[in-house]
A and B are shown apart, each in its own frame.
Chain A
Amino acid sequence: MKNVYTVATNTFREAVRDRVLYNLVFFALLMMAAAILVGQISIGIDQSVIVSLGLTAISVIGLFIAIFIGVSLVSKEMDKRTLYALLAKPVERWEFLLGKFGGLVMTLAINTGAMALGLYAAMWTVKHPLQRHDVYILVAVYLILLKLAILVAVALAFSCFTTPFLAILFSAGIYVAGVYAQNLRTMHAVDIAPATFRFLKAVSYALPNFENFNVMGAVSHGGVVPGALVLHATLYALAYCAIALSTAAMVFSKRNLK
């Protein structure tokens, strides 16, 4: 596990020194500023608009980072051959993968944390004294982070057996599918054959259901998020990451590097 930690901290260090990340975070903060502006123009719903926009920004930025950088974690090392010297050390390939995953998730955690602070700052600027239930915004951000972790694992898995471009495409596809997975299950369709409907229902369970992590509606209206939901969502994310990462590990361990 020490090897995993070493790779993880190095991945984190790389992300920090990679200036692209700062641009993205800056963009997110810009969106926060825009949220304040929008809040000024619409009447009476400034609070919910700011929170909604802020959480959306955090989610979207995080999404891009998770998919694009998630895919490049492994493919960049393979392309640039930095991986060669590393794998000649007493390191297992799965330790390398897990470390990469951990490093990016750490980076995302710091990023989303920073953006959450920006969001609180934006809320405070709109002369909204922070109340106790605003802590649930942090819960919403945490759930977004869980969703991003799943996406990183998925992107990593795809990048292990296909080209970076396709991996990005597939990961984005899984994201879209996962957002609508809930609808597949609750679809009140009139004329679908029962067998098809059961199949679709099974698919809807197999896909990562990203709606599980969306509490934007509740939180932006000052609602609460039950602790049980947070716990189950965390376990869900862990289970799904395990699925994606173990697949990635298996594929990667058999792969001939060029």
Chain B
Amino acid sequence: MKPRWIGGIALCTTLVAGFAAVCLLQVRIDAERQSIQEERDELLFRSPELVRKMSLEYAPLMGDIYWTRAVQYYGEKHADQDENLELLWPLLDITTTLDPHLIPAYRFGSMFLSDAPPRGAGRPDLAALLLERGLQENPDQWRLYEDLGNVYYFDAKDYKNAARAFMEGSKNPASAIWMKSMAAKIAAEGESLETSYFLWQDVYQSTTDPAVRQNAESHLRSLRVDLDLKAINAIAGEYERRTGRRPMQMSDLVQAGLLKEIPKDLESYPYTLDQDGKAALDPGSPLLQEKLNKKR
């Protein structure tokens, strides 16, 4: 007669061996699936209306599901540094058709749609379309006007419509105070670093979503550099006026008393001057790489 505990031993062995095999095989399978990296057609049905009809009374739930997929889609592509975001718009289109009141879909969706590659899909026209729909369905969401303004200002470079968006948004008594004056400023000046910096800062402060904050932060860093360079160039210009020649290096400006010390960028690398006497980032600064990435 077999002792009682032999069954227990057999079970434990099987479980341990089984799970070990499962883990090892999983690693292999993951590798193999990478190699058949098919462009998984995320969307079986491209027609938002069709999906909405098929969802019966569960449309808002389906909206949530599609929104989750959209976020994951973006996340995966971004992590893989894959610039091809062509399914982002259809996903957002379907999401907002299923649930027209899903505000995050409009807000973040428009941001990632309009941002230039590699950060976004580079389609400010679709982003504007999305936001216009959002405003139609949710007229009291003045933040959407702000987003619309940002889209026109930053990516479409359409200052007339940007000003219009900010103006419309400012009509809502709950809106931020600066929207009206922003409308005026943009109408007058078009693009300016200070304006850009201000708008991104507002985005950064008014959101809790980590992805959006990260995006805003990277824009702000870049703008900070631009603002610093602009300020340094202004000082260099002053130097030229006083001495009649362009400064050769940053220490010249300090010696002339125009700067207390050599200013450093956000990564604590000192700014320098290039051979034309114009302000530039230190070649070793990681911010330089960030700037180059952005221009790609």
Contact = CB atoms under 8 A, between A and B. Distances in A.
* Physical contact A–B (CB less than 8 Å): yes
Interface of A: 48-49, 52-53, 183, 185-186, 188, 190-191, 205-206, 209, 211-212, 215, 217-218, 220-221, 223-226, 228-229, 232-233, 235-236, 239-240, 242-243, 246-247, 249-250, 253
A151 to B, nearest CB: 15
Interface of B: 7-8, 10-11, 14-15, 17-19, 21-23, 25-26, 28-30, 32-33, 35-36, 38-41, 44, 72, 75-76, 78-79, 210-211, 214
A227 B32 CA distance: 10
Main secondary structure of the interface of B (DSSP, over half): helix
Contacts of B210: 190-191
A229 B22 contact: no
A242 B18 contact: yes
Contacts of A249: 11
A239 B28 contact: no
Given A217-B41, A240-B22, A229 B72 contact: no
A232 B29 contact: yes
26 contacts: A52-B44, A186-B76, A188-B76, A188-B79, A205-B19, A205-B23, A215-B36, A217-B38, A217-B41, A218-B36, A218-B38, A223-B38, A224-B36, A225-B36, A226-B35, A226-B36, A228-B28, A229-B33, A232-B29, A235-B21, A235-B25, A239-B18, A242-B14, A246-B10, A246-B18, A250-B11
Nearest to A226: B32
Contact of A49 (B18, B19, B44): B44
A232 B32 CA distance: 9
A221 to B, nearest CB: 7
A215 B18 CA distance: 24
A236 B26 contact: yes
B41 A212 contact: no
Main secondary structure of the interface of A (DSSP, over half): helix
Nearest to B16: A243
A220 B44 CA distance: 11
B15 A243 contact: yes
Contacts of A188: 75-76, 78-79
A247 B32 contact: no
A196 to B, nearest CB: 15
Contacts of B19: 205-206, 239, 243
A109 to B, nearest CB: 22
B22 A239 contact: yes
Nearest to B18: A243
A212 B44 contact: no
A247 B16 CA distance: 12
A191 B38 CA distance: 29
Contact of B29 (A52, A53, A224, A236): A236
Contacts of B21: 235-236, 239
Given A218-B38, A235-B25, A243-B18, 17 more contacts: A52-B44, A188-B76, A205-B19, A205-B22, A205-B26, A212-B29, A212-B33, A217-B38, A217-B40, A221-B41, A224-B36, A232-B32, A236-B26, A242-B14, A242-B18, A249-B11, A250-B7
A168 B65 CA distance: 23
Nearest to B14: A246
A217 B33 CA distance: 11
Contact of A220 (B10, B22, B41): B41
Nearest to B13: A246
Contact of B25 (A49, A52, A190, A236): A236
B44 A233 contact: no
Contacts of A221: 38-39, 41
B32 A228 contact: yes
Contacts of B22: 205-206, 236, 239-240, 243
A130 B38 CA distance: 22
A253 to B, nearest CB: 7
Contacts of A190: 210-211, 214
B26 A212 contact: yes
A218 B33 CA distance: 10
